[in-house]
Amino acid sequence: MSALTVTIVQTHLHWEDKTTNLQLLEKKINSVKGTTQLVVLPEMFSTAFSMRPAAMAEPMSGTTIGWMKRVAATNKLILTGSVIIEEEGNYFNRLVWMLPSGQYGVYDKRHLFAFAGEDAHYTAGTKRLIASVNGWKINLQVCYDLRFPVWARQTPADEPEYDLLVYVANWPERRNHAWKTLLQARAIENQCYVVGVNRVGKDGNAIYHSGDSCIIDPMGEIVFQQAHEEVVHTLTLQKESLTTLRSKLPFLKDADDFLIQL
């Protein structure tokens, strides 16, 4: 059975300062010891959670995507996180799944955080992205998506749709109980590993983020968690453990049929 080595980067983000954020993130990624296959960065990792897309957005040919291509290629790894993208006059909170070859997949955040006005500035996505690496299928989502279990739910089938669920976020400390609880719930109900990567520190609106980035196993047990401090942490996930659990406890086969209509 295959294994997947994942590195999470929990970091402070400098408000709307792309140059500084990319320089610091590159140093953190370059500091990873040993071999990792996937590095996960927070939501809007180059700018923090900005509601000024007209000033902050880039095209897919812009600086941040070029940086992702270079860093992924140099370090021979997959790099993912979300950035502010402009496309055909629309702005997207777009998660990019960057391969070391320079090929990439994208997922536009489906659930926009109206409480902060995200829905007034950005366009919602309509399609999920499930990527594949080393025999693993990975469902990639962004922050507020976590509150909507149907969007992440495994659909009944002979084989589960995915093995790992990833959330990249700028999730405030004032609601960190929901963050931690819902990440565990998503792991249990979908019988999958969950990786949640959040930022730390105050943003440009003086909102504090405690991080609480974590890795959770398919039974909902927290394998790793870190609050308040910056951290770069690498962990290898075992596919055999997941396959054995699903075989012994085939709960997904009893799930209700449903269809998402957009």
Residues that are catalytic: 43, 109, 143
d(CA 163, CA 132): 10
Structure letter (DSSP) for residue 147: G
Tokens read off for 210: 């405690």
Strand partners, 4: 237
Q: Give the strand pairing for 90-98 and 193-197.
A: unpaired
Closest CA relative to residue 29, chosen from 235, 238, 234: 234
Chain-centre distance for alpha carbon 219: 20
- Please check whether residue 70 is in contact with residue 31, taking contact to mean a CB–CB distance below 8 angstroms: no
